[in-house]
Chain A
């Protein structure tokens, strides 16, 4: 089955700086890579996803990059703000198989230092 490794487990950055979270996956058949943000006391929420037919996707201050050859993908947050403090989860799976085949990483706790 799929194995997803996520690093780092904790990350602290100064407000305004950039944050990068990295994930690797093992199944070359995986073609769907979402990122979820979990704020304190809430459930995870999808913030961005990427499919294997593109190498990069941006949405305002967040971007995700994918290297299919190396089997790794990363979340980039620029100009970090206090509201970016949360736990972030990456995941890997196959778009046509649904969430039951999605494997999540172990999470990164991001803290933005004012």
Chain B
């Protein structure tokens, strides 16, 4: 089983709908991240969390919100999806001693 699991893997939603992407990890890491990947733009940080009570905005947080329900779970929400939020979304984790990030397999989101 994957150490970092994202659900769903693929999702098509309509403009204006609320959608939640979920991430769970079995690595026991405190730090969790949500990234967005667009062709030609690389990986950009949306939100990150150092523990259950900690939420921080990343480079491109507008239009997104997150919830850290437990050490192992970090969800990303789009309150009112718009077409330019169509992208590949990745969750990642790291521990407090190491900068290596462990990524999930990604969620491909299409907003029509």
**Do the two chains bind?**
yes
A interface residue numbers (CB < 8 A to B) = 4, 6, 9, 32, 34, 36, 41-46, 49, 89, 93, 95, 98-100, 102, 104-107
Number of interface residues, chain B, beta carbon within 8 A: 22
Q: A46 — which chain B residues lie within 8 A by C-beta?
A: 100-101
With A44-B43, A89-B42, A98-B31 given, can you name 14 additional A-B contacts, CB distance below 8 Å? Answer: A6-B42, A32-B99, A34-B100, A42-B106, A44-B101, A44-B103, A46-B101, A89-B43, A98-B99, A99-B33, A99-B45, A99-B48, A100-B58, A102-B99
Q: A43-B4, A99-B31, A99-B94 are in contact. Are A104 and B43 (CB under 8 A)?
A: yes
Give, as a whole number of angstroms, the nearest-CB distance from A91 to chain B. Answer: 8
B 46-89 contacts with A by CB, 8 A: 48, 56, 58
Judge whether A95 and B99 touch: CB under 8 Å. Answer: yes
Q: B45 — which chain A residues lie within 8 A by C-beta?
A: 99-100, 102
